[in-house]
Amino acid sequence: MSGLRRFIVIMLFDGVDLLDVTGPPEVFALLRRETDDETGYEVALAAETMDPVTTAAGVRVLPDLTFAEASGRAIDTLLVPGSVEVDEQRRVHALTEPAVVAWVGTLAGRSRRVASVCVGAHLLAAAGLLDGRRATTHWSTAQQLAADHPAVEVDADPIFIRDGGVWTGAGITACLDLSLALVSEDFGEAVALRVARQLVMYLKRPSGQSQFSVPIEPVSTTRRTAELRHFVAERIAGPLTIADLARHAHVSERQLTRIFKTELGMTPAAYVEAARVEVARNRLETTDDTLERVASGCGFGTIDTLIRAFRRKLDTTPTEYRARFRHSG
pLDDT digits (tens, 9 = 90+) for 279-322: 998 888 888 999 999 999 999 999 999 999 998 888 789 998 88
* b/e map 224-243, b = 16+ CB within 10 Å: ebbebbebbbebbbeebebe
Q: How confident is the model at residue 216, as a pLDDT? A: 41
pLDDT < 50 regions, the chain:
1-3, 201-217, 328-329
What's the number of CA atoms in the CB half-sphere (13 Å) around residue 26? Answer: 15
Render pLDDT for 171-221 as a digit per residue (tens, 0 to 9).
767 788 888 889 888 888 778 777 877 775 432 222 222 222 344 445 555
250 touches 264 (CB < 8 A): no
**Could you give the angle at the alpha carbon of 307 between the alpha carbons of 306 and 311, nearest 5°?**
120
Q: Which helix (H) or strand (E) holds 119?
A: none
* Mean pLDDT computed over every residue of the chain: 86
> Which of 253, 248, 252 minimizes the C-alpha distance to 224?
248
What percentage of residues in the chain have a pLDDT greater than 70? Answer: 89
110 touches 73 (CB < 8 A): yes
Instruction: Report the amino acid identity of residue 289.
Output: D
233 touches 203 (CB < 8 A): yes
Residues contacting residue 36 through CB under 8 Å, at least 6 positions apart? none
What's the number of CA atoms in the CB half-sphere (13 Å) around residue 59? Answer: 11
Chain length of the chain:
329
Taking the C-alpha atoms of residue 155 and residue 152, their distance in angstroms, rounded to an integer, is 9
28 touches 66 (CB < 8 A): no
Orientation of helix 253-264 relative to helix 223-234, angle to 10°: 100
The gap from C-alpha 174 to its chain's centroid, in whole angstroms, comes to 4
Q: How confident is the model at residue 322, as a pLDDT? A: 85
What pTM was computed for the model? Answer: 0.64
Beta bridge partners of 54: 60
Taking the C-alpha atoms of residue 283 and residue 298, their distance in angstroms, rounded to an integer, is 9
